[in-house]
Amino acid sequence: MISTRLLGNAVRAEENVLLTLVGPHAPMGKLMRRYWIPALRSDELEAGGAPVRLRLLCENFLAFRSPEGEVGVVDHRCAHRCASLFYGRNEEGGIRCVYHGWKFARNGQCIEMPSEPPETDYKARVRIRALHVAEKFGVVWVHMADGAPPPLPHFDWNELEAGKALSVSFMMRECNWLQALEGDIDTCHVGFLHLGAVGPDAFEEGSLNYYRQMPENLAPKYEALETEYGATYCAYRHAGPGNTYHRIGHFAMPFWTMVPSEPMDHIHARAWVPIDDHHSMLVVIGGPRSTFTRDKHGELLPGAGVAIRYLPNTSDWLGRWRIEENPRNDHLISRETQRGRSYTGIEGIPVQDQAITESMGPIVDRTKEHLGTSDRMIMLTRRKLMRAAAALRDEGSVPPGADAAESYHHLRAGFAILPDDTDWLDYYNSRRSVWSKGAAAPIERMKRHAAPAPGNAT
Ligand code: FES
Ligand SMILES: [Fe+2]
């Protein structure tokens, strides 16, 4: 019998603290501050327009686009007597506090101090904190550490075929970043939470439809591998005579995932950016989706293709990219629908994910868990994060990928149906070789993570 608390994988209370808290003094918070963070959509900031309150990793900033079109992200407090610059005037050359008129450039330097005698040089010695800023892929990125920042992470977004536009979406979730992220690397839940009301009969008999295989086999086998950038998994299950259905996805340091929601080669990445310890922002940057979530009649599967119902953004610290469904309205669950065509009674796949991870509370108490074999990737991801945070705290080691933009290159997720005797990692490495034109090193299988060969899957 397999133990439900797999050897060495129970999380202790102090480990849960290490894993989840992201304030400026927390080890995981210090780790996150070593990476570029996708912070806002570019179109949230209008040239010369209202500044935006931006909470990141438990700190409060102000983002604004100057009349000249340049973006600044600064401490929201004026250096004089800490009035909020949210009320400030977005002027050419900087933002001006309306209390006594001090003006700060985008780099944080005080450039005007009209309330002080003009003969003093006080202003030259006053500045507010300003973050490094970059703008790319329709996103405003920030880096919170001092000193010269590394290049942006080199995901494959640049390599989308001509004419295939990137889309960028943000969505706030009312829970800690890690439990939200763990939903992305837990592919087993798809057959329940999202497709639990769909039986194999919804698809042509004998068809190798990607979605037919999930209701047919709800308990896939897993292999998870630690990698330089984070961790990679394959969940695999039988797919008719001679074939195995593989779902391959990734965790990349410190908060990125790639999920197998499309056939292999799909270019996208998802960031779970901590707003604070109890709120996170999902940022999805990716190429266009295809239409595989349909049944044999061409109908969309329940919950697929449902438009997200955003509430209007407000200027509150927690007012950006909220959705209508939340814990206070039970995510608009319909018990009637739950008895019928939907396993959950909750509309929309992203909303189902939102409801279930928010239902765990602001920070899930991982000491109460009983992890199973399907949680292998989650265990590996936690270990990778804990080791990196402890190594930075104890030895000052640069966390994986923080200074190595190329670690994120040629990394893609997806699913594939392959002959039983194909090793998924060989297949994945062969695709990786195509994406990189032979340049990328293959991902290695380390002995300690080895699992039964995919061909033995049932
Ligand atoms: S508080 Fe901002 S200028 Fe005085
Ligand atoms: Fe999900």
> What is the domain range of residue 98?
39-143
286 and 368, same structural domain?
yes
Residues 188 and 219 in one domain: yes
Read off the tokens for 330: 């039970």
Give me the mean pLDDT over the 295-323 stretch: 90
Domain match, 326 and 190 both = yes
Distance 414 CA to ligand 2 centre (A): 15
Q: Tell me, yes or no, whether 343 and 295 share the same domain.
A: yes
- Decide whether any atom of ligand 1 lies within 6 Å of the 99 Cβ: yes
Same domain as 122, residue 227? no
| pLDDT given at position 220 | 86
Residue 102 near ligand 1, beta carbon < 6 Å = yes
Query: Of all atoms in ligand 1, which is nearest to the CA of residue 81?
Result: 1
81 lines ligand 1 (CB under 6 A): yes
**Which mutation among 76, 77, 78, 123 tests ligand 1's pocket best, with the greatest number of atoms within 8 A of CB?**
78
Question: Which pLDDT score is estimated for 207?
Answer: 62
pLDDT tens track for 223-255: 999 999 999 999 998 888 899 999 999 999 999
429 domain residue, yes or no: yes
From 260, 291, 285, 261, select the one nearest 271 (Cα to Cα).
285
In a domain, 391, yes or no: yes
H helix intervals, 330-457: 335-339, 349-358, 376-395, 424-435
The residue type of 314 is T
Whether 133 is covered by a domain: the verdict is yes
Task: Give the number of whichever ligand sits closest to the CA of residue 101.
Answer: 1
Is 83 touching ligand 1 by the criterion CB < 6 Å? Answer: yes
**H or E segment to which residue 16 belongs:** helix 13-20
Centroid of ligand 1 to alpha carbon of 92 (angstroms): 18
Residue whose Cα lies nearest atom 4 of ligand 1: it is 100
What average pLDDT does this structure show over 174-191?
Answer: 95
Q: Which residue, by CA, sits nearest to atom 1 of ligand 1? A: 81
- pLDDT value of residue 402: 96
Q: What are phi and psi of 268, to 5 degrees?
A: -170, 165
CA of 218 to the centre of ligand 2 (A): 14
Q: Are residues 117 and 255 in the same domain?
A: no
> What's the DSSP call for residue 193?
I
What token pair was written down for 344?
Answer: 């959950």
Last residue of a domain, one of 143, 174, 197: 143
Asked whether the CA dihedral 387, 392, 393, 396 is positive or negative, the reply is positive
From the CA of 112, which ligand is nearest? Answer: 1
The finding on whether 97 has its CB within 6 A of some atom of ligand 1 is: yes
Q: How far is CA 372 from CA 22, 368, 369, in A?
A: 27, 13, 10
**Burial class for 113, CB neighbours closer than 10 Å (0-12, 13-18, 19+):** buried
259 alpha carbon, closest ligand: 2
Quick one: which atom of ligand 1 is closest to the CA of 97? 2
Contact 248, 424 (CB under 8 A): yes
The predicted pLDDT at position 208 comes to 60
Based on the domain organization, do 43 and 93 belong to the same domain? Answer: yes
Q: Specify the ligand 1 atom closest to the Cα of 85.
A: 2
Q: pLDDT (tens digit, 9 = 90+) per residue, 45-81?
A: 999 999 999 999 999 999 999 999 999 999 999 999 9
Nearest ligand 1 atom, CA 102 = 3
pLDDT reading at 23 higher than 70: yes
pLDDT, one tens digit per residue, over 287-303 is 877 755 778 888 888 77
Q: Give the tens place of pLDDT for each residue, 406-423.
A: 999 999 999 899 999 999
The closest ligand to the CA of 89 turns out to be 1
Residues 135 and 214 in one domain: no
Q: Residue 377: is its pLDDT beyond 90?
A: yes
- What's the 78 CA to ligand 1 centre distance in angstroms? 6
Ligand nearest to the CA of 82: 1
| Best mutation site among 100, 116, 122, 128 for ligand 1 pocket (most ligand atoms within 8 Å of CB) | 100
Judge if the beta carbon of residue 89 lies within 6 A of ligand 1. no
pLDDT at 160 over 90: no
Average pLDDT over residues 101-124: 96
CA-proximal residue: ligand 1, atom 3 (nearest): 100
> Ligand 1: which of 99, 103, 122, 126 to mutate, judged by most atoms within 8 Å of the beta carbon?
99
Same domain for 395 and 372?
Answer: yes
Ligand 2 centroid to 351 CA: how many Å?
A: 9
Tell me if 80 CB under 6 Å of ligand 1.
yes
For residue 58, the tally of other CB atoms under 10 A from its CB is 18
Paired with 226 in beta bridges are: 231
* Same-domain pairing of 126 and 199: no
- The count of domains in the chain is 2
How is residue 446 annotated by DSSP? P
Does 13 reside within a domain?
no
398 belongs to a structural domain: yes
